[in-house]
Amino acid sequence: MSLAWRNWADTESAVATSIVRPRDVTDICKAVTGAAEAGQTVRARGSGHSFTAVGAAHGVALDLSGWTGITAADVATGLVTVRSGTTLRALDAELDRLGLAMTNLGDIDAQTVSGAISTGTHGTGAAFGGLATQVAALELVLADGSVVTCSPTERPDLFAAARVGLGALGVISTVTLRTEPSFVLAAEERPEPLEAVLEALDANCADNDHFEFYWFPYGSKALTKRNNRLPPGAVPRPLGPVRRFYEYRVMENAVLDALCRLGRRVPRLVRPLARLTSSALSRRSYSDVSHRVFVTPRSVRFVESEYAIPRAALGDVLAELRARVPALSEHVMLPVEIRVAAADDIWLSTAYGRDSAYIAIHQYVGMPYRTYFDLFESIAAAVGGRPHWGKIHSLDAAALRALYPRFDDFTRVRSEVDPNGLFANPYITRVLGSL
């Protein structure tokens, strides 16, 4: 692996001083203490799927791609311990073989388990929290090289901080998750008039286990997605392989990418192309094992910003976006995604203490996005929006402290376990402040 690193979206880069590929916890401990002795910082690189530089290593880079797999699984309780370098895709496959599943997932599974929880990755569902709410315990290597476990009953403050810890408290070595027996989701995806979707939003969120929708800024339609659990023992009825390939690989990836490339090359075509994309949305109904419904193949490259806002403010924020985005000089090629999540008690979770709606905006790689993203950020800020830690935003520690009631508790724990900033990088210093 090269010392040079770039993230998936090509928005961030870093050059490490060295790379360590640990094969066990002892190797992680040696890497941490070695970095401290050499006066270097140390970070786990993860999969690079964040759009921010949260995973950038400018000192010692830990490549955890060899530190993977489930180490313990209790099918009766659903408690599963997994090594931190395991990707969600690999975890889903291993859980499937055990007859288990994650309660909720996002739509991308390229992230490592530790990276996904550390940045606050989430799915959708008014009664469900983000991935970090499924964590039962963590094992971490701290700055002094010690290996500690934290849970609701063991070092609870560290646990409350480390579940969404940004990699700033230590290197997560294993994650213990609360899983459940495998289940089947029935998926209903269809285009609907945006006005009707907004009018029925509260009912849709309440009546469906997992509801979300996509809005194309220049179109009048939204693509709604309703995923609901079927009774135990339900037989999956997935899309046939030909239709699945056509719908996801051809239409939602290859064709969309071609249209985006054309729009990037000829900006005056962006609006008609976006309207064409919106009008071409198709309806599909199927059922499958949960992770095959939650996760969607994504090969189109984009940049993204996402804010969590109070659920009650969603209508006002969308109204503002609908009014102002069409007036931008920067043309928007990709849709806005809207999801919901339940409140939780994790100190730096974007859903801390409040039921939340998530609005994610996207732009195709290589197209201008700063004006659009700045506009969105200003609209979200007016309602106390909290930025996703792994997606583009401009906030610093002073601004974030005002948004998180337990921010100072987090920084207190950080100063206790990493007093010299061994796990810092420029992004961490910007959003959490200096030690």
**pLDDT tens-digit readout, 58-83:** 999 999 999 999 999 999 999 999 99
The tokens of 71 are what? 């180490």
pLDDT band at 132 (very low <50, low <70, confident <90, very high): very high
d(Cα 258, Cα 264) in Å, to the nearest integer? 10
For residue 336, which of 358, 366, 308 has the smallest C-alpha distance?
Answer: 358
Residue 231 has pLDDT above 90, yes or no: yes
Per-residue pLDDT, averaged over 371-398, amounts to: 98
Taking all residues of the chain, what is their mean pLDDT, rounded to a whole number? 95
Confidence at residue 1, expressed as pLDDT on a 0 to 100 scale: 66
- The residue whose two tokens read 């009546």 is 207
Count Cβ atoms within 10 A of the Cβ of residue 268 and give its class: 0-12 exposed, 13-18 middle, 19 or more buried.
exposed
Angle between helix 256-265 and 270-279 (nearest 10): 160
Nearest to 210 by CA among 113, 96, 342: 342
**Residue 280's Cα: distance from chain center in Å?**
28
Q: Report d(CA 427, CA 433) in Å as an integer.
A: 9
Q: What is the pTM of this model?
A: 0.96
H or E, element range at 302: strand 302-310
Is residue 216 very low, low, confident or very high in pLDDT (cuts 50, 70, 90)? confident
Query: In sequence order, what DSSP letters do the residues of 146-211 get, joined into one string?
Result: -EEEE-SSSSHHHHHHHTT-TT-S-EEEEEEEE-EE--EEEEEEEEEEHHHHHHTHHHHHHHSSEE
Residue 278 above 80 pLDDT?
A: no
Residue 92 in contact with residue 109, Cβ under 8 Å?
yes
Give the residue from 181, 102, 91 showing the smallest Cα distance to 134. Answer: 102
User: Does 36 score more than 80 pLDDT?
Assistant: yes
User: How far, in Å, are 144, 410, 425 from residue 171 at the CA level?
Assistant: 11, 16, 14
Q: Domains in the chain, start-ordered, CATH in brackets?
A: 67-181 (3.30.465.10), 184-387 (3.40.462.10)
Percent over 90 (pLDDT), the chain: 87
User: Per 3-state DSSP, what percentage of the chain is helix, strand, and coil (rounded to 5)?
Assistant: 35, 25, 40
Q: What is the pLDDT of residue 281?
A: 74
